[in-house]
Amino acid sequence: MQSKQVEKALNEQINEELYSAYAYLAMAAEADKLGLPGFVNWFKVQYAEELAHADRFFNFVLERDGTIELSAIGRPEIGEETALSLFEKALAHEQHITQLIFRLKDLARSESDHATDVFLEWFVKEQVEEEASTRAVIDQLKMVAGDPNGLFMIDRELAARKVEPAA
């Protein structure tokens, strides 16, 4: 059984993951305004992944005989954006989520909650991958510096991204 403090933190993380999904959906809508269907696809795949992450946390809390307490999801701050600014926001958000996962691991360790600590290892690895893949797109966008041909090529590459089946 997990402590009430760990359970509360895991419930907060469920909300963060649902917010992440909501933010990526908003980014997809903004990419659509920019006429970048490949970017829309990338953000919608990210949206689906974040929903899956929330579900992992949800199921873990239930498996530990915990109580789920869902809270309101905040409104994403996505306005008039460029392709680059969307990905910079995505990276900043992923870095925020990484820090939350690290804090959860620290909490689990401080409470000698080995099950939660081990559960969170997958998320640590996932966050390394999330940040790296987002940073790679930022690097490409900076390389093409707004050149329409380069942007077109990146958009085509992002269109090929598919939702990975759950591990």
Distance CA 20, CA 124 (A): 16
pLDDT tens profile 25-55: 999 999 999 999 999 999 999 999 999 999 9
Instruction: With 0.75 as the threshold, say if the pTM is over it.
Output: yes
**If you compute the radius of gyration of the chain from its CA atoms, what whole number of angstroms results?**
17
Identify the pLDDT of residue 167.
59
Domain spanning 4-72+80-159, CATH class? mainly alpha
Identify the pLDDT of residue 147.
92
- Kindly write down the DSSP assignment for every residue of 86-144, as one continuous string: HHHHHHHHHHHHHHHHHHHHHHHHHTT-HHHHHHHHHHHHHHHHHHHHHHHHHHHHHHH
| 20-34 exposure pattern, b = at least 16 Cβ within 10 A, e = fewer | bbbbbbbbbebbeeb
Residue 1 has pLDDT above 80, yes or no: no
- Give the domain ranges of the chain: 4-72+80-159
The label of the residue with tokens 């993380």 reads: 13
Q: Residues 73, 16: contact at Cβ < 8 Å?
A: no
